[in-house]
Chain A
């Protein structure tokens, strides 16, 4: 008998409220507290959303890989669901980072796409690689094998990200603004507060959306299980082929 309590949705309202508060505050800080940047003017404000999106994207891909390793080690399908969700949402955030980067490029350099901008080019390559995650999952029918192969992909792609950044950076001159240098003095104090609050806000948004997706998938699996237990076996049509992980209810 499936349990009626969703494990994933428990902390969702708390995360959603925290996200709304921190994101609103960070937008307020970015527009009304942080000073206008002397060199680039108002267009630099997009940096408060572009850079957090990019950082959170990479974080999502790295966690996708870590959950992939955990799935391969344990065979626990919950890790597969976490890996899938992190990569799925990471891909969406990656599109956001590419679009905002492109807009910033237009404002700063007058072009929608700049090839000698290594970070943006690296993001495009990483995006192209992670775009194959869903087709790969979709083309494997057996859920167990799908999860295993997707985990292998997540680990390989996770290791690919840093070597790709090294290769692209070596191949192009540096013009990307280094907002967080190792000395940490490239960002004035009031800009730094606005930036870090935006980073926390976007991270919370990512976690909230991931939790939402996982709880939605979990609820749907519970609903299907309840339907099956009411209608008896064989009444439900066979599950359609899907890229999403199949959830095994205890």
Chain B
């Protein structure tokens, strides 16, 4: 609309041309987020907002019942078994986050650094680390169930070969190890992605900076803590925020490996699995859905994640600026 006008003016008054154009240019920048906003708003925000209102209704089964205000939220935190299930799952999510940070991201950082140091076959290693991420979660779940199988799985076979029979376990059937096994599989799955992000982070550090620091005599740990880590803060922020969100949304892998009941005996239950059970009922026809309660749980989960992500971002951004 404006372009035609601009053109006309441009022909008539060469002097005004630059001014209008600059105005247009300044205004045009606001068009940049529009396509993303439209698609995201229509297909994510709208359905989710609609679904959030479900949490205010008594809604068991398929037909919406009466408006109950905040009753569902109250039930979630005061009624049994909902109360216990919530805190049980919540603890599992926290463990999920902590282990992912240490194992997946810690290891990924080391590996990114190793690749950055231009070892031979760096290209191959990068691809190898990332390969698991290419698989569908269903396959990941099935393959690891085979590997962790207590009677013929590779892990127990290998332990047996090294004479470590007493370490052999029914990894996924034992409540003490099942959750940890799943988190580690998740780390295996997500490792390559974290490596890529860290690598992109290291690689975007201008080479001159590292050279200059080397000339100044920085090396080893000092180089790491004073130059590399601060300059990689954006990448670290991305990975931390992402790991946090994904840990508290952990669903697909748990579902693929242990089903929707958090088996065995609620030892692998996560908030998202619990949400799924509430909102959609059991998987094979047993149990009605409790959409009202499920939505309430989703709202709580959302509030929790968004508040903590905001705090996380605030502090990490501050670090980015400080450097």
A associates with B:
no
Q: Which residues of A contact B (CB under 8 A)?
A: none
Q: Which residues of B contact A (CB under 8 A)?
A: none
